[in-house]
Structure formats: C-alpha cells, structure tokens
A and B are shown apart, each in its own frame.
Chain A
Amino acid sequence: MECSDARHLIHLDVGNDLRAEEEGLLAGHMEHCGECRVYHTETSRAMNALYVLRDDPATRPESGSTDRSVWANVSQKIQQRRTSPALARRFNVQVAALSVCSLSLAVVTIVQSLSAMRGSSEPSGYMLSQPVSNLSAPQFYQTHGQGMPNGLYRQQQPQPIPVKSPPQSF
C-alpha cells in the first residue's frame, strides 16, 4: 500500500470510520512506515482540537435554548396558511401586451435599419435614372453664384501630368 492511500485511511481511522478489511490494511502499512505513524498521531491531535466544539458545554448548540417547543408557532403558521385563501393564478394581460409591443418595435427597428443599410451600399434605380447635374463641381458652384469650397476646389484642380522627355537618341 502506498503512503497516500494509507493517509486516506488514516483520515477515516481517526473517526472510527474504517471497515474491518481497511483496518487490517492500514495496520499492516503502519507497522513498517514510521512517517505514517507520525501522521496518524498528528491527525488525531488535530481531531482532538475539533472535538473541543463537541465536548465544550459552553459551545454546545443547545446552550441558551429554551424549553419552549417550536410546535406552537409551527402549528399556528400551518393554521394561518390553511385559512388564508389560496393564491389563484391569473393571466396578466398588461405584461403580455407590453411584451408584444416592445417585440414588434424591435422588429420594425431592425427591418428599417437593414433596408437603410442595403440602400446605402447599392444605388437605387431612381438615382441611376435621374442624374443630379451634368455640370462638374466647379461649374455647378459658378452657375449657382457661389465660390467653390476651398477643400473641394483643391480636390478638383487637375494635377500636372509629368511629361517625360523623349529618349535621347544616340
């Protein structure tokens, strides 16, 4: 038997919880294992400390308890519960209606946001058939009597195309 198994049995032995066959096994192991004998003594000592709670009259749970039986109170409560009308279950329409409303609101919101997302990602047929204007941005602002916003103007400025010099002929 391994010491770990023996120690498991020692924990049971200190409270007299070993079976007859286990007692034999443990006794056989302890005969030749000094460490487990020491462990047994230490465990017994710790258990003695625990038994202080069991043995000490000051800490006994019944100390301070009165002789009055709880039956009087229990009986009274049983009678109260018997005489009080039983709670009937009823369907709460308001809660159900509120739930349905919030659920439909949620569904409508989701459907709307989905369609809005779809509209922003692909152009609609109307937008394709009706061009907003044939004018370019600088022309549009000129015809409407406004100066073109600086940022936009800068974006619209044609960038000079670098002209490559022709290759030198040798």
Chain B
Amino acid sequence: MLRMSESDAEDLSLDAADSPENGEAPSASEVRLVHAARNGDHDAFGELVLRYERRVLKVVRRFVLDLEQATDLVQESFLRAFERIEQFDPARRFGPWLFRLAVNLTYDHLRKVRRRGRWSLFSDVGQDRPLDPSMADPRAELDLSQEVQMVLAEIPEAYRTVLILRDLEGFCTSEVAAITDRSEATIRWRLAEARKMFKESWERRERRTSRGQAGSEE
C-alpha cells in the first residue's frame, strides 16, 4: 500500500494546525468566529479568511495553474462566502462549505474560459515556469508532471474533482462528500472509478510512449 511521504505528512500536520477543516467537528474558536461573522463582524470574517486562504488557494491552483487567476478566484470565493454566510448552517463545519464555494466558482470559471476559447480566434498559451538555477535540473520531473496533468485532464470533471481533493489535497472521503455535496457512498464509488480511469489512461499513455520510442530506435 502507498504511504504518504514524510514531507507530505509534515505539510498536512501544518495545514491541520492552520486550518481546522481536517478535524471532524468544528473547533470552538471557529464556531465563535462564524457566529460573529454571521452577525456582521467584519474582523471575525477576516480571521476566517486568514485561517483558510492558503488552503483554498492550494485547492484552486490544482484546477487553475495561473496564480493571478487563482488568487482572483480565492478572493471571489471569500466575497461570496461573506455574502452568503447567512445561508450557512452553523451546526456544520465552515471549511467544506467554503471549499465547495471555491470549487464551484473555479469550475464556473473554467467553463467560461472553455466557452470563450471555442469561439475566439486566438487562445492563451500557458507560460513556462521560471527555472531556479540553485535546484537540480527539474526538466525530467516537469515532463512527468506535465504528462500526469494531461492524463488527469482526460478524466471527466466529477471524477477528477474527487481524485484531486482526495489524492492530491488529502481530504478524507467524508470531507470530499461535504465539499461536493454528495453522499460518502457516492464519493467512494467515484473515487474508485476515477482511480480506475486514471490507471487506464496512464497505461495507454505509457504504451504509446514506449511504442514511439521503439519506432524512433528502429
């Protein structure tokens, strides 16, 4: 079975300390902050923003690589959260509700970009990442990660979201269920299907690559 790397475990523990969405029940301070924010306390909402912004940005950037666009989406998510905080059920955890807003906004944005791209004469091209000379040559790793990104993009949206939230962001299945507003059984099913789709796509890609290499050697 696969285990998390040491650095990941460290990261998750840091995240858990920073943001309480990894816990099962909302912390007392979070309940207090949400209650105050619902009563119009501007500073309390600011405290919630500070608690969650890094994690929300991290999730949004899984879907939108451009930092500026991702930051705009995070801002928009918090604005929407502030406007709709009256609709939030305080008996539930704030984190999943906030992440749901952010993920929905991100998908709306992606759909808009896709629609625009279909009809426009020119489309944006992704920027190359600037290389850090102090680091080892990251090209091989980048190639691999780009390939993984491409395979991931082949998976249908509903399944990709679950895969990203569970396997890349480390949310547990109950949290993914709360974020996506689906039952845990549905999420477990989608997770299994998403991993199966990823495996099949990845193996297809590997076969194509090895066939291409064999062809070029001949």
Contact = CB atoms under 8 A, between A and B. Distances in A.
Contacts of A127: none
Given A49-B144, A55-B7, A69-B50, A11 B42 contact: no
Contacts, number: 134
Interface residues of B, number: 53
Main secondary structure of the interface of A (DSSP, over half): helix
B168 interface: yes
A15 B163 CA distance: 10
Report the interface size class on chain A: 35 or more
B145 A11 contact: no
B142 A58 contact: yes
A69 B74 CA distance: 11
Interface string A79-96: 001000000000000000
A126 B23 CA distance: 90
A52 B196 contact: no
B148 A17 contact: no
Given A50-B152, A65-B67, A70-B71, A75 B2 contact: no
Contact of B57 (A13, A17, A50, A65): A65
Contact of A71 (B49, B60, B62, B188): B49
A114 B163 CA distance: 61
Interface in B184-215: 188, 191-193, 195-196, 198-199, 202-203
A49 B46 contact: no
Interface of A: 7-9, 11-17, 42-44, 46-56, 58-62, 64-65, 69-71, 73-75, 77-78, 81
List of 5 A-B pairs having minimum Cβ-Cβ separation, nearest first: A61-B61, A11-B192, A46-B199, A11-B195, A59-B145
